[in-house]
């Protein structure tokens, strides 16, 4: 049961923000800035749009302790990241090159 | 390039809310209530969790005119819906039964 994908790569960044004192969350670890960076870079590369790439915001993806996390479908590959260089590597390798970034994969 | 899925069905509801006067959006068409209903039902069925089903909130999925929309990965199946009965049919048929709901598919 699998369809032709509407987006070749549909990327979901967890942007969940928990309250102070609650367990760790992606929003406290730069997730929003990373999502904005990815969106801008995909647009610059001319990869945004139907049949290509969509960078999305998402609610809690429930992998808080491993965060910040991003998942790319339909491949179902999960990554963590520290900074924009990590995001660029995910874009260059996984999205453009079709090669999983093993060092960031969770 | 495909991984063993962390969730067997990862369901993203577009909950995007546009400002009055802007183009149509999923939030104006009951998307939030539908997402809450789906989350509750999946929990009741004992299907929530790692290796099973995750019901997620998402930002704009960019299929506004066809909304409200929901996409299920890794299958990459897109649906629209009107009410909780449609959501139940998607859960019973697609998620539990492994059969696409053709009448709601977009």
Question: What is the reported pLDDT for B24?
Answer: 87
A3: chain B residues, CB-CB within 8 Å: 75-78
Q: Rounded to a whole number, what is the largest CA-CA distance in chain B?
A: 43
Digit-coded pLDDT (tens) for A44-57:
999 999 999 999 99
B1 with A100: Cβ contact below 8 A: yes
Domains of chain A, by residue range, sit at 9-104
| Contacts of A2 by beta carbon, 8 Å cutoff, 6+ apart | A74, B74, B75, B76
Question: What is the reported pLDDT for A3?
Answer: 56
Percent of chain B with pLDDT over 70: 96
Q: Which of A1, A60, A95 to mutate to test the interface with B (most CBs of B within 10 A)?
A: A1
Q: What is the ipTM of this complex?
A: 0.94
Choose the closest CB to A74 out of B74, B98, B99. B74
Question: What is the reported pLDDT for B52?
Answer: 97
pTM, two decimals, is: 0.95
A26: chain B residues, CB-CB within 8 Å: none
Q: How far apart are CA A5 and CA A7, in angstroms?
A: 5
Residue B106 is encoded by which pair of tokens? 């977009």
Percent of chain A with pLDDT over 90: 87
- Cα–Cα distances (Å) from B102 to A28, A45, A75, B73, B77, in that order, read 41, 35, 23, 16, 10
Digit-coded pLDDT (tens) for A14-62:
999 998 888 889 999 999 999 999 999 999 999 999 999 999 999 999 9
Which of the 8 DSSP states describes residue A100? -
Residue A1 pLDDT exceeds 70:
no
Query: Nearest CA to B95 among A62, A1, A60?
Result: A1
Fold topology of B9-104: Glutaredoxin (3.40.30)
Size (chain A), residues: 106
């Amino acid at each position: 049961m699998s369809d032709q994908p509407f987006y070749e790569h549909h990327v979901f960044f967890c942007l969940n923000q928990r309250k102070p004192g609650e367990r760790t969350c992606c929003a406290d670890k730069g997730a929003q800035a990373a999502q904005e960076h990815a969106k801008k870079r995909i647009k610059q590369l001319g990869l945004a749009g139907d049949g290509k790439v969509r960078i999305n915001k998402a609610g809690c993806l429930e992998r808080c302790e491993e965060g910040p996390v991003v998942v790319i479908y339909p491949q179902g590959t999960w990554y963590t990241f520290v900074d924009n260089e990590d995001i660029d590597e995910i874009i260059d390798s996984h999205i453009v090159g079709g090669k999983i970034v093993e060092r960031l994969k969770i």
